[in-house]
Amino acid sequence: MPGSDRKTITILKALLEAEDGFVSGNRLANELGLSRVSIWSRMEKLRDQGFEFEAVTRKGYRIVKKPEALSSWLTRAYLEDSTIDYELVFLSSIDSTNDHATRLLANDFEAPFFVIANEQTLGRGRMGRQWYSPPSYNLYLSFASTPNVRPDRMQLFTLWMGACIAQHLRNRLNLDIGIKWPNDLYFDQKKLAGMLTEARVDADSIRELVFGLGLNVNQVQDDWPADLKQSAISLREPYGRKLDLNRMAAQLVSAISTGYETFISDNIRNDFEDLWPQLDVLQGQFIEAESRDGPVEGIASGLDNHGSLIVKTNKGKLVTLNSGEVHLKRF
């Protein structure tokens, strides 16, 4: 990020931290080594992006309104204290953040980086499905990296990232969020988020990795399209009020970056084995799924070492599923 943008973010962060209080223009000018005019012109730039400020003689500046929609300035200001320094690419509208990240990698854009969009016109889910991606309510982001690790090290990757994100949301919002194997976050038997990991594998190494997350944040129940009304949920419903999209984006960038770094540098198996049973929404449930050898029904009974789902059939046979769609069987 250019140094001049960093200074604008520092101004914004000081104003956000003062909450309803004022920040002296002199203090900002001295701390940042800028003239009062330069502080003013940076605030004008922020005004163009939906911020409103009040200026009072001898008191300074105060924030009176921040944009509710995704704002690169606001997300960066909320991230300012963290050690994460990956590039964040913000887009108001894009086909798919996963596709855009893949294009940037192909053009040698320096990884790791994030692509975060306000809206996707061709948001993709697993198995060729669409991901409903209207503007301004929810988060659509992709994290791209070039990990250069053996493909077998990636077996638990999406499950691990899901566990890190679910843990983060549980701690922050105090909600009983779980994971439905292999790639969904769930609350109250409804889908809260989906993950889509795509990789380019060369010989025996993962060259490029794109991890996409679609998280339903502020969508209200009445606004879901008819086909999602029964099966989808946003954080806003159980949380009871609207969430700050930009604070959420900054926290997810942090949780994903930390989860990825831990994954690459450590053996996460023990931590994952401790975490998984607390998050597994299928554990002990009667499920139906499609295995390579045809349909399977039985009790979901945890994961094997490779992250495959173990299903105990009613004949007592153990079947493992390594991908696919699982349905809870209702009676």
Q: Which residues bind to ligand BTN, rule: CB under 6 A?
A: 96-98, 120, 123-126, 129, 131, 140-142, 183-184, 194-196, 212-214
210-230 residues labelled b (16+ CB within 10 A) or e (exposed): bbbbbbbbbbeeeebeeeeee
Smaller CB distance to ligand BTN: residue 131 or 263? 131
Work out how close the CB of 100 gets to ligand BTN at its nearest, in angstroms, rounded to a whole number: 8
Work out how close the CB of 142 gets to ligand BTN at its nearest, in angstroms, rounded to a whole number: 5
Amino acid at 80: E
Smaller CB distance to ligand BTN: residue 43 or 161? 161
Smaller CB distance to ligand BTN: residue 71 or 142? 142
Work out how close the CB of 199 gets to ligand BTN at its nearest, in angstroms, rounded to a whole number: 14
Work out how close the CB of 111 gets to ligand BTN at its nearest, in angstroms, rounded to a whole number: 16
Smaller CB distance to ligand BTN: residue 25 or 259? 259
Q: Rounded to an integer, what is the distance from CA 270 to the centroid of its chain?
A: 24
* Six-digit token string for 110: 């320096």
Left, alpha or beta for 53 (phi > 0: left; psi -120 to 50: alpha)?
A: beta
256-285 residues labelled b (16+ CB within 10 A) or e (exposed): bbebbeebbeeebeeebeebbeebbbbbeb
Smaller CB distance to ligand BTN: residue 12 or 249? 249
Q: Rounded to an integer, what is the distance from CA 162 to the centroid of its chain?
A: 9
* Six-digit token string for 151: 């493909």
Smaller CB distance to ligand BTN: residue 76 or 124? 124
Work out how close the CB of 137 gets to ligand BTN at its nearest, in angstroms, rounded to a whole number: 13
> Residue 109 half-sphere exposure, CB side, CA atoms within 13 Å?
19
Q: Is 174 helix (H, G, I), strand (E, B) or coil?
A: coil
Q: Is 134 helix (H, G, I), strand (E, B) or coil?
A: coil
The residue whose Cβ lies closest to ligand BTN is 194
Torsion of CA 304, 307, 313, 318, to 10 degrees: -30
Smaller CB distance to ligand BTN: residue 103 or 317? 103
For residues 28 and 46, what is the distance between their CA atoms, to the nearest angstrom?
A: 16
Work out how close the CB of 120 gets to ligand BTN at its nearest, in angstroms, rounded to a whole number: 6
Left, alpha or beta for 142 (phi > 0: left; psi -120 to 50: alpha)?
A: beta
Smaller CB distance to ligand BTN: residue 97 or 118? 97
Yes or no: say if 176 and 185 are a contact pair by the CB < 8 Å rule.
no
Work out how close the CB of 43 gets to ligand BTN at its nearest, in angstroms, rounded to a whole number: 32
Work out how close the CB of 216 gets to ligand BTN at its nearest, in angstroms, rounded to a whole number: 10
